[in-house]
Structure 1
Amino acid sequence: MVHTPHSHPPRWPTAEEITAFFDGQLLQGTSLERLVEQAAALASYAVGRVRADGRGVARDARGDTLATTPPPGAASVPVVTGGTVWVDGPPGPVGRHFLDRLALTVTVVERWGMSGSSSISPPIDLLLDPSSSEIAQRWARKQLGLSAETQVRVAICGGQADRVESFVATLGGIEKVIARTSRRDKTLVLLAARSSGPVEVPGVPTGVRAAHGRVVGAEHAPTAYLTARDAYRFARPSPSDRGPYQAVAGVWLNGGRLSGLAALCRLKRDDIEIVPDVKTLAALAEQYGEHVIQLLEAYATTDSLRKAAAEVLVHHNSVSYWVQKAESKLGYSLTGPYRRAQLFICLCLYRLWKDDGDE
């Protein structure tokens, strides 16, 4: 084996130390040469990266350059981008963990060129990402000036840019905006929560979809994001700049109140669209307009035609007409046991299917 002489074999770092090291390399920004050199110093054994064409880099524990070809007995694993990484140390679960993390980090460096801090994701993106490691989470919290216990919530909004900006400014006047980022066509805002209750806003600009998630400690920020994302999927564009809004309008939804409905958000679009009732609702909306869906939602969430009519500000005869139309298309009476609950679930599934939900 090629390594610095020891009276006893070097002690492998623990699995936690290995994970922390490679996460730190990505967070700080690194090059392939620096990565291999630092990895060899961590392991106290020679480490190498050899590509499929034989080129690469290898260093011993002192940082000296070695041939990229692994010496006899060295352990190695393949890299997604081709070739292998190797370490001239004893095999075992920790050694394999070291190689797996090295291979993953090499893949990121070679594919995306993590050669400097400019390649690091913004702290808010790391903080809200459910796949971020605890090391990355701690780094992100430090960068944002948060302790693990700081109470935060996430708001998501989408729509016309100037109206979204106006709404973010409104939120900032109620709770401190810690940071913000964009994901696809949506704006994500991290807020310092003043209380565990909902954020009361005077209104949401016309046409803007908006929702917020549960209040959690910053160490659980991905949960704040996920609950906000779930609520956003059920949110509808605001019908007017000022409230109050009818519940059926779906304006400024609170992900902390979704309860079991949040589980529906885990369903894939392909799984939803095979439900016959969802197809029927989609056909009704296409033929007669989305207002029919809103009428049916009001009926499914109240206990009478008159209450439903009051929710959507129409005559109860109009609600009755569309309920009968839906019954004829669905093939069953909505006055039957559990049928109204069934309709409500299918209406939720229709909203999720229509939204498509990818963040």
Structure 2
Amino acid sequence: MEALAVRMSQLGSDVEAAVRVVMFYDTLMRRRVDLPALARASANLAECPAGIRLTGTGRTIRMTPDGREAPGPPAVTTSAPITLDEEEIGTVWLERPTPAGLLDELLLDRLAIAVATAVERYGPARTTMADPALVELVIGADTDEAARARALRLLGFAADLPVRAVAVRTPHPLDRIGTLLCPDRPVKAAQLADAGVVLATTVDASRLPPDVRAGIGAAGIPARSWREARTALRFTTARQPVVHHADLGAVALLAHLPEDAVRADPDVAAIARIAACDPDALDTLDAYCTTGSLRRAAAVLHLHHTSVARRLDQLGKALGLELTEPAGLLRAGLALTAWRLLSG
């Protein structure tokens, strides 16, 4: 309202016309008109083609002043973003063959507000970011099923589709991550205290940037999926930034061991001593445990395999394990994973 008042104060003798524009869109919103009607009315008011595009769905509406769909490609002359829940969800524009009119900016402002209102009214908002309170109801272990079902419905998820939870730590905007994980179906995200949460019916983690850590729970009961996702997130590393809980198998049990018992384990204590003295040595151990091969580890580390063999021999002596033997490699891998879980 403050921005509107400033803009109208700059119009001088055209303030009366500006008030009519504001009242025009207020009337359209009260009548709950749909998007085609908004585009049609705007084109008629502006006396030039007007357009609306929603980013999430790709839907585009263009109308001429006489109420028909505009032919040919759009020739945008003036545009404005559509914002809902502090997220840009699309664009509105005018296609004026003459210089922009004095009221065009105000007209597009009010059109964008009317479009956002209509999008929110006629179905779940096409934004990725969601009310954290609703998301917490969905993933909460103590939420009763009626409240969970209502929260899912308000977020736009169909009752008969299983929802998958993803726990995320990312330097990128969370709404972008949600869109990358699930570009074509409903997806909602919210930032909680310790991690971002993304809810979706399908997940494609291959689209994530390499600097994003993500733990993915199984589809089904959202509360269980979220617990799995948070556990999987704890197992992520720079070398393995995405972890599916289902792929962890029995290794996931490490996350539920008492911390005191883990710290007291001789193998974990040895890993901690090595980390304090030579952190790079653990990268060599990680590469070897991950690949299971001296030559593949050397390729990952960009070293000659003899250099890796020498490092592993030193590590084996420090750990008191024979790393070339399956039993020694298994113990070292478990100890390294347990130590990471402790150190966060």
Q: TM-score, normalised by structure 1?
A: 0.54
The equivalent of 1:277 in structure 2 is 267
Contact 1:277 1:346 in 2 (8 A): yes
CA distance in 2, matches of 1:321, 1:164: 43
The equivalent of 1:288 in structure 2 is 278
Deviations 1:228-280 (A, max 9, x none): 1121101124xxxxxxxxxxx11222222111112211123223211121121
The equivalent of 2:309 in structure 1 is 320
CA distance in 2, matches of 1:354, 1:147: 39
Q: TM-score, normalised by structure 2?
A: 0.56
Contact 1:167 1:205 in 2 (8 A): no
The equivalent of 1:214 in structure 2 is 218
Q: 1:126 to 1:271 in 2, by over 3 A?
A: farther
Which blocks of at least 5 consecutive residues in structure 2 are unaligned?
A: 1-130
Which blocks of at least 5 consecutive residues in structure 1 are unaligned?
A: 1-119, 238-248
The equivalent of 2:46 in structure 1 is none
One-letter amino acid matched to 1:189: V
CA distance in 1, matches of 2:329, 2:237: 22
The equivalent of 1:183 in structure 2 is 192
Superposition map of 1:66-105 within 5 A: none
The equivalent of 2:246 in structure 1 is 256
Higher relative contact order (CA 8 A, sep 6+): 1
Contact 1:213 1:226 in 2 (8 A): yes
- Residue 150 in 1 paired to residue 164 in 2? no
CA distance in 1, matches of 2:153, 2:199: 15
The equivalent of 2:207 in structure 1 is 202
Deviation at 1:337, TM superposition (A): 5.4
One-letter amino acid matched to 2:263: E
Deviation at 1:325, TM superposition (A): 1.8
- Residue 329 in 1 paired to residue 333 in 2? no
Deviations 1:77-125 (A, max 9, x none): xxxxxxxxxxxxxxxxxxxxxxxxxxxxxxxxxxxxxxxxxxx972210
Describe the SS at the equivalent of 2:269. helix
Describe the SS at the equivalent of 1:149. coil
CA distance in 2, matches of 1:302, 1:209: 20
Q: 1:158 to 1:304 in 2, by over 3 A?
A: closer
- Residue 226 in 1 paired to residue 250 in 2? no
Deviations 1:18-66 (A, max 9, x none): xxxxxxxxxxxxxxxxxxxxxxxxxxxxxxxxxxxxxxxxxxxxxxxxx
Contact 2:217 2:232 in 1 (8 A): yes
Describe the SS at the equivalent of 1:273. helix
One-letter amino acid matched to 2:222: A
Deviations 1:187-211 (A, max 9, x none): 1111122xxxx614334253x3223
State, as a whole percentage, how many aligned pairs show the same letter. 27
Deviation at 1:225, TM superposition (A): 0.9
Contact 2:215 2:243 in 1 (8 A): yes
CA distance in 2, matches of 1:148, 1:270: 43
Deviation at 1:335, TM superposition (A): 3.3
RMSD: 2.5
Contact 2:175 2:189 in 1 (8 A): no
Picking from 290, 293, 299, the partner of 1:310 is 299
Q: 1:145 to 1:281 in 2, by over 3 A?
A: same
Deviation at 1:155, TM superposition (A): 1.7
Describe the SS at the equivalent of 1:263. helix
Contact 2:181 2:208 in 1 (8 A): no
The equivalent of 1:62 in structure 2 is none
The equivalent of 1:139 in structure 2 is 150
CA distance in 2, matches of 1:143, 1:329: 56
The equivalent of 2:177 in structure 1 is 167
Deviations 1:114-160 (A, max 9, x none): xxxxxx97221011112323343233233334344313212222143
Runs of 4+ aligned residues of structure 1 deviating over 6 Å after TM superposition are none
Q: 1:311 to 1:318 in 2, by over 3 A?
A: same
Q: 1:234 to 1:260 in 2, by over 3 A?
A: same
Q: Which has the higher helix share?
A: 2
Contact 1:182 1:188 in 2 (8 A): yes
One-letter amino acid matched to 1:335: T
Q: 1:172 to 1:191 in 2, by over 3 A?
A: same
Describe the SS at the equivalent of 2:207. coil
Contact 1:204 1:252 in 2 (8 A): no
Describe the SS at the equivalent of 1:151. coil
CA distance in 2, matches of 1:211, 1:288: 28
- Residue 127 in 1 paired to residue 114 in 2? no
